[in-house]
Amino acid sequence: MNAHPNFPIPSHPKTRYVSPTLPIQQWPRMSDWFTTTSVAPGITLTTEPWVNDYFRANCYTVQGREADLQFDFCMGLVPLRPALPLSGKPVIAVASHGHIDHIGGFHEFDTRLGHAAEAAGFASMAESATLKEAYVSERYGPALLRPPHPDFNLATWELTPAPLTRTIAEGDSIDLGNRRFTVLHLPGHSPGGIALLDEVAGILLAGDVIYDDSLLDELPGSSIPDYLASMQRLLDLDCRLILAGHGAAFDRPRMQDLARAYIASRT
Ligand SMILES: [Zn+2]
Ligand SMILES: [Zn+2]
């Protein structure tokens, strides 16, 4: 039995604590577990409406000419891959970082890329990397994390290890044939946090580096100095659409406002 991680669930605006959409005694149809929405040309957002919106992550599929890119993998409560709009071409799976809300279905893919700083976490799915216990413990769940069906036991649920097949680092390219993403290493929220930038389209897949809500910089593995440096980089980043790891998409001026607000709060 793991001890609960010694960090508080941060206070967020009340809207992030809405109750699960159905009372816990009612169950969603499995075919409704994920929703997919087109958010930009060739890019589809997949998310989990049945997961409380505090943890509900945004996962993105990019269809390319020679390969598809899958960026992040939801909670792993329900198999993800069958729900994704994949084309049947090879899939390059890239994890933004190792927290449970982003990597539950990472193991469903053969080609798995992530930053070396979190490689051990992907391979072990240890609590220190995923923070799973914080999400499913009696203290925080099931009010914050409901099981997907009545036979599902959150207490014995384990994440499936997903060792990286290749590490990626700052400046690397992920080439889909007709579009290319550059890897940005932006630690702070987590040590190996990455974002992917399509410089041509001006689209940033941001993971948990930045999203339009309170940013978490006191988790195990977080670093406020690193986060400040990452935010400084974002201020100068040339892009026009930010597809974040949580919540709504936003534009560059909003990204700059969020980055400035973070810097002001921590300096
Ligand atoms: Zn995270
Ligand atoms: Zn997250």
User: How far does residue 109's CA lie from ligand 1's centre (Å)?
Assistant: 20
Of how many residues is the chain composed? 267
* Cβ atoms of residues 48 and 54 within 8 Å: no
Collapse the DSSP code of 119 into the 3-class scheme (helix H, G, I; strand E, B; otherwise coil) and give the result: helix
Whether residue 6 lies inside any domain: the answer is no
Q: Is residue 3 part of a domain?
A: no
Of all ligands present, the nearest one to the C-alpha of 16 is 2
Ligand 2 centroid – CA 74 distance (Å): 9
User: Which domain range does residue 41 map to?
Assistant: 14-266
Q: Which residue has the higher pLDDT, 48 or 167?
A: 167
Q: Residue 232 sits in a domain of what CATH number?
A: 3.60.15.10
Residue 2 within a domain: no
**Ligand with the closest atom to the CA of 121:** 1
- The answer to whether the CB of 92 falls within 8 A of the CB of 167 is no
Q: What is the pLDDT of residue 2?
A: 33
What is the average pLDDT across 169-190? 98
- Does the residue 8 lie in any domain? no
pLDDT tens-digit profile of 80-129?
A: 999 999 999 999 999 999 999 999 999 999 999 999 999 999 999 998 89
Expressed in angstroms and rounded, the spacing between residue 100 Cα and the centre of ligand 2 is 8
User: Residue 104 corresponds to which amino acid?
Assistant: G
Can you give the pTM of this predicted structure? 0.90
Tell me which residues have their CB within 5 A of the ion that is ligand 1.
99, 208
The mean per-residue pLDDT over the stretch 18-37 comes to 72
Q: How far apart are the first and last CA of the chain?
A: 38
- Determine, yes or no, domain membership for 33: yes
**More confidently predicted of 144 and 62:** 62
The mean predicted confidence, pLDDT, of the chain is 88
In a domain, 9, yes or no: no
pLDDT of residue 210: 97
| Ligand 1 center–CA 146 separation, angstroms | 19
The pLDDT value given to residue 155: 80
Is 257 among the domain residues?
A: yes
Q: Is residue 88 part of a domain?
A: yes
pLDDT exceeds cutoff 50 at 28: yes
Overall number of domains in the chain: 1
- Give me the phi and psi of 94, to 5 degrees please: -125, 125
Q: Are strands 91-94 and 59-63 parallel, antiparallel or unpaired?
A: unpaired
Specify the pLDDT at position 32: 86
